[in-house]
Amino acid sequence: MWADFQALCDFGGRLAGTASEAAALDFARARLAAVPGANVREDPVSYPGWRCRTAQLIDASTGVSFPCAPLLGTASTAGTVADVLDLGLGRREDFARHANRIRGRIVLVRHEYPFAPGHVHRRVKLAWAQEMDAAGFLIAHPQAGVGPVSGSTGRNGGFGIPALGVAAEAADALRPLPNGTLPMVRVVIDAEDRPALTRTLIADLPGRGGDWIVVSAHIDGHPLGESAIDNATGVAVALALARRLASHVSECPHGLRICLFSAEEWGLLGSRLWLERMDAATRRSMLIDINLDSVAGASGLTALTSGFERLDAWVRESAARAALASEASGQRGHSIGARAGHSPEPGSSARADLPLATHLPLMANSDHANFAAHGIPALRLIAGFNTADSNLRLLLTAADTRDKVKPAELEQALALATALTWQALTDPATTLAGLAT
């Protein structure tokens, strides 16, 4: 698992539509094909892609250029020159308070830690700026020394305004003067919309029935950094889980389907289109989605349970059951490997500490949200929830690199993901159907 994680980071950021993404997909397909008994295929997914050649943010009075990152899918501009209006965090009340000042100006807001209750997502702030006729949009990472923040606009070829991610230092430099004069900048973005094609990798390990327990992760990332936490961690754990369970699934009531998506960073587009384009019967055959996204970079794990109350309870009960089994296994001196030949319980491991919290309200921040939109019980396993000082604060920046992840964090994620997957594989279909409420 650690070697897979390192290899994925070696490919770089894995932005969809680049050679980095293509190489990572080829690597992951080869790793899935090596899983005994796995039926591996690729489903092509066409999507409204985009490519940026140049992005610049220049102080109009001094000519100083600020480091910046074009938000994925941003609209182009040959040179928008406008005042910068700093709205702080950029919450709804901030936009409302300055409603009569936004039109024709470039709005500056702050990137918030995305894995906490009550945060406001970048695309929501961008939508408010567009609705109020802002000339452009800047979003700044709050921490000095990190550099610009990236992210998507969700425009997908539609209406948009020029949008850039910037560093904390740029936000500081673009504060109003003491007399209230607003700074003026010039934004240049040379980009084009272009149809693109990516691949969803599917590895099926059949069970006794014709339905599926889905374990998903996204392989694409951003050009900044290595997209290590987000989401080389999830892909590495998904591959390890497939290897761990491969020899056991054939005796289970349900099959195991590993789905590795791309174009997730484009507003969850890859999995959304993949699900929309399949027939309803195929969607119904997928009983639950366990999505692995950013599962290391902090010691604690949380399951985001997408508003499904029974799923939330099932997750907590399954984790507690696995912890008890793990503790008993440790007392007997038997590990999962020692039991693999008879009456296996792949959901347990030699560790007794399987901490898992849950968060019930839907957070549409990864591919699980698209499964949930089709009524499929879906959860996202994530590290660092509501822990703003964790390494997950560095997602979408050049600092999302492999040194932010510890092997023990990946092992803990694998233990919990395996526990939940094994419980789903062995539960009756009626039990799993009841989780969709």
Q: What is the pLDDT of residues 386-401, one digit of tens each?
A: 999 999 999 999 999 9
More confident of the two residues 141 and 328 = 141
The pLDDT score that the predictor gives to residue 355 is: 75
Which class does domain 2-50+196-433 fall in?
alpha beta
What CATH fold (topology level) applies to the domain 51-193?
Glucose Oxidase; domain 1 (3.50.30)
Q: What's the rounded mean pLDDT across residues 175-191?
A: 95
How is the chain split into domains, by residue range?
A: 2-50+196-433, 51-193
The pLDDT score that the predictor gives to residue 1 is: 98
Strands 184-205 and 77-86: antiparallel
Is 50 exceeded by the pLDDT of residue 369?
Answer: yes
For residue range 401-413, what is the model confidence (pLDDT) as tens digits? Answer: 999 999 999 999 9
Q: What's the rounded mean pLDDT across residues 214-220?
A: 98
Q: Which helix (H) or strand (E) holds 170?
A: helix 168-173
Tell me, yes or no, if the pTM score tops 0.85.
yes
Read off φ and ψ for residue 386, nearest 5 degrees: 60, 30
**Dist CA 171 CA 150 (whole Å):** 15
Read off φ and ψ for residue 268, nearest 5 degrees: 65, 30
249-268 as b/e, with b when 16 or more CB fall inside 10 Å?
Answer: beebbbbbbbbbbbbbbbbb
Q: What's the rounded mean pLDDT across residues 162-175?
A: 97
The pLDDT score that the predictor gives to residue 322 is: 87
Residue 433 and residue 268 in contact, taking contact as beta carbons nearer than 8 Å: no
Q: What's the rounded mean pLDDT across residues 370-380?
A: 98
The pLDDT score that the predictor gives to residue 354 is: 64
**Dist CA 147 CA 142 (whole Å):** 10
Is 80 exceeded by the pLDDT of residue 340?
Answer: no
Residue whose entry in the numeric block shows the structure tokens 């960073």: 265
